[in-house]
Amino acid sequence: MQPSLPEVRPNHDRRRTRAAAVFAAAVAGAIVSPRAAQAAEQVPDGTFDTSLGSWYAYGVAAGPALTAGALCVDAQDGTVNPWDAAIGRNDIPAIAGEGYQLSFQARATRSVVVNANFQHGSGGFELIAGGATTITTEWQTFTANGTAPLGFADGQVVFQIGGKGAFTICVDNVSLQGGVTAPPYVPDTGPRVRVNQIGYLPFGPKRATIVTGATTAVPWQLRNAAGSVVRSGMTTPRGMDITSGQTVHTVDFTSFTRSGSGYVLAADGEQSYPFAISAGVYEQLRKDAKTYFYTNRSGIEIRDALAPGYGRAAGHVGLLPNRGDTAVSCQAPRDFMNFWTCDPSFARNVTGGWYDAGDHGKYVVNGGISVALLMSEYERSLTARTADRGALGDGTLRIPESGNGVPDLLDEARWELEWMLRMQVPAGAADPGIAPYEGMAFLKVQDAEWTGLPLAPAADDKPRELHRPSTAATLNLAAAAAQGARLFAPYDPGFSSRLLAAARTAYRAAKRVPDLFAPDADGNSGGGAYSDRDVRDEFYWAAAELFLTTGDDEYRADVAASPLGNGAVFSVDGFSWQTPGALGQLDLATVPSHIAGRDKIRASVVKAADAILAVQRAQPYAQPYAPASNQWTWGSTSQVLNNLIVLGTAYDITGASKYRAAVLEGADFLFGRNALNRSYVTGYGTVSAQNQHTRMYANQLDPALPHPPAGTIAGGPNSGIQDPFAQGKLAGCAPQFCYIDDIQSFSTNEIAINWNASLSWVASFIADLDDGANDGN
């Protein structure tokens, strides 16, 4: 048995610096120096024939006890996290680079999932071998292998049994063999013929990639569901693809336009996963990509009737054991931020909004780009030539507000905008720690320390903290609120006025305090740092949105004066939460206005699209993303998507079919036409991501919990592989292989609102194309 690996305390999420945490072990022992690990027993007292030896338990109702030659304990109700109760043995040294094999026998009075780990007992609690293990009522033997990522003296074998209620568990014959070579990780990539696993539009491009050692063209066949050959031809050799390290060919079957399901592509002795050819292959994704935002809402009960399988209690509303977001004060002083304090009596109600990613933090700088992309998706539907005008209207999503006369996508955006308004520093604050930041936006609200997986929002018992305002957060508020003001004006003039007033105030505050940056080290506990020391693009974005909403000369002048107005906001590596100036440029190019030089702005978008198109055409897998360094970034799937947004906007501007085709082919990469032969979107494709890093959708750790909702995109290949789990599996990986679908791999497999917002925009763009025949020219 090779159990999947859960996260161990503490968690270190994306863009986050490691933090030390104190593991609540009950027994301390003498620290010994690491010694050479041999292929010999490292646990001398794991048979429990006559005694418990150095084993201990904490957080339990009774035990540990020696029972019929096994160690048994009674777990109790009232614990929340897995590590709140445990059986363990400390002071087991580990040698960096050495392999270890953990084995044991276990049974329980009922079937229960526990974490059985050999791990570092301090520091980052790095996991070496073990994972989430389902213990049943019958004795079973379990084995797990792993390699130590670093050397330490204070390793521990631990069975984390908290958060599961009352039961009795017994373990026996616990063994840790040192110096055992761990089997190499080899991903299952399925057939060597790689296609878009959900399908192709009838009149869109239809291409595939084949992994093969053949140096000359090989024949291919397209077969229908009955097995009949409906099209055939010869492949095009493409040589070595540096992003995957594979030798590949490509296949083009664009000329085949007959709709149907169950098609397969065969070549070089292999057959692809099945796929469809249909005008409707992206219609459901248009909706599903947005369901993610409803299920990620904070401060509201998620109704199972609206999101079957995802119903849960409201999170962070102040009900025990939760500390809640109803009255949150400033971050307690830290070594890296001891220059900022405020009176503990200061408190803000910051309920609502969306949980940002795998944790329960809420971040204005990531919320801004996320809600803006959803609003831009809606705004595009008002003007784009190909847009299905009613596809984003009232009654199109399963959310509580549906049927209120407001487009559902705007209702979803409002949930985040209302929260962002609460994050604005109020006027008239007497506290000298707060007063200088009047009108600015707090950077984030998060737990005071890391929590583990799985953890429902309502069960989070950590204190919540507001983190110091930043200029970037303030400008995110200004931009998003200004955009929201113009979109909500026809539906709720009062809310529109609130948004515009907040946007104006925030913009003035950012000009007053133009260089207040989030500390790089503010990711040491409880949440991500989200540091950004270049806010020229945020200023440009905010000025653009304020101008488009108001037409005021002040904002017009600021747009014109920005050095970014000539297209410098774009990069072939994609825009992100740190570089949101692209959003301003895209809106200036497409939202009707009287901005001077609009033709040049539109031309800059087309120029950026042409540069992305050139990158894409050079890639055998047709992804519109290939950094010159060959180092893929955290959240690479969102970089692909954001480049598709630029290409889609160029299509809206010009009507040129090459941009439409580029969006479709770029989407193929996300849905299986890639080196791993995997769709990065849950529920879409024969093999799709389903074990993304998240506290709420942790089915991999607890079968009672769901996988992420269908339509949730994983962060994707990341050359940095910053988490220990990925490091142990993927060292030396070619960029496309720097991904693993495991909940432990937060650096390659996290989920995030900004990534899903990009997916939502692209899904709508493609769904609007219908059968793909509306080329424009």
Predicted confidence at residue 755, as pLDDT, reads 98
pLDDT of residue 264: 98
Assess if residue 210 is contained within a domain.
Answer: no
* Residue 230 domain flag: no
Integer Cα distance of 653 and 350 in angstroms? 39
Residue among 280, 9, 194 nearest 620 (CA): 194
Residue 24, pLDDT > 70, answer: no
Report d(CA 503, CA 482) in Å as an integer: 5
Q: State the average pLDDT for the chain.
A: 92
Q: Is residue 114 part of a domain?
A: yes
Containing structural domain, residue 337: 326-596
Arithmetic mean of pLDDT, 144-170? 93
In this predicted structure, what is the pLDDT of residue 520?
Answer: 84
Distances in Å between the Cα of 724 and the Cα atoms of 124, 154, 453, 633 are: 9, 17, 16, 17
pLDDT interval class at 452 (50, 70, 90) = confident
- 596, 622, 643 — which closes off a domain? 596
Give the Cα separation of 22 and 125 in Å (integer): 9
776 pLDDT band, cuts 50/70/90, is very low
Average pLDDT, integer, range 108-133: 92
Q: Are strands 260-267 and 270-271 parallel, antiparallel or unpaired?
A: antiparallel
The pLDDT tens digits of the residues spanning 476-493 come to 999 999 999 999 999 999
Query: What was the pLDDT predicted at 493?
Result: 98
- Token duo for residue 601: 């702005």
Judge whether 498 lies within some domain.
Answer: yes
Task: Please list the active-site residues.
Answer: 359, 693, 741, 750
Quick one: average pLDDT of 203-220? 97
| CB proximity list for 321: less than 8 A, separation 6 or greater | 80, 459, 460, 461
**What is the model's pLDDT at position 38?**
52
Burial class (CB in 10 A: 0-12, 13-18, 19+), 628: exposed
- Tens of pLDDT, residue by residue over 533-570, are 999 999 999 999 999 999 999 999 999 999 998 889 99
In a domain, 630, yes or no: no
User: Using one digit for the tens of pLDDT, what is the confidence trace for 739-753?
Assistant: 999 999 999 999 999
Q: How many other β-carbons are positioned within 10 Å of the β-carbon of residue 533?
A: 11
Mean pLDDT, rounded, for 456-466: 93
Read off the pLDDT band of 30 (50, 70, 90).
very low
3-state class of 369 per DSSP? helix
Q: For helices 636-654 and 598-617, what crossing angle results, to 10°?
A: 130
Instruction: Say whether pLDDT at 435 is over 60.
Output: yes
392 or 148: which leads in pLDDT: 392
213 part of a folded domain: no
Q: What CATH number is given to the structural domain containing 86?
A: 2.60.120.260
The type of residue at 173 is N
Provide the percentage of residues in the chain whose pLDDT is more than 70: 94
Tokens at 254, concatenated? 């664009």
Which of 34 and 302 is assigned the larger pLDDT?
Answer: 302
How many helices (H) and strands (E) are present in the chain, helices listed first?
14, 25
Q: What's the pLDDT band for 6 if we cut at 50, 70, 90?
A: very low
Evaluate if residue 522 carries a pLDDT over 90.
no
Residue 341 has a pLDDT of 74
Residue 659 lies in a domain: no
Domain stop point among 572, 596, 620: 596
Q: What's the pLDDT at 229? A: 98
Give the pLDDT of residue 637: 98
| pLDDT, tens only, 705-761 | 999 999 999 999 999 999 988 998 999 999 999 999 999 999 999 999 999 999 999
207 lies in some domain? no
- What would the pLDDT profile of 342-365 be if each residue is shown by its tens digit? 888 889 999 999 999 999 999 999
pLDDT digits (tens, 9 = 90+) for 227-283: 999 999 999 999 999 999 999 999 999 999 999 999 999 999 999 999 999 999 999
Given 596, 630, 659, which residue is the final one in a domain?
596
Residue 373 sits in a domain whose CATH number is 1.50.10.10
3-state SS, residue 604: helix
Give the per-residue pLDDT at 37. Answer: 46
Q: What are phi and psi of 172, to 5 degrees?
A: -155, 160
Q: How far apart are CA 620 and CA 241, in angstroms?
A: 7
Which stretch of DSSP H or E encloses residue 86? strand 86-94
Given a contact cutoff of 8 angstroms between Cβ atoms, the answer to whether 733 and 349 are in contact is no
Cβ atoms 769, 660 nearer than 8 A: yes
CB atoms within 10 A of CB 547: 26
Domains: count for the chain: 2
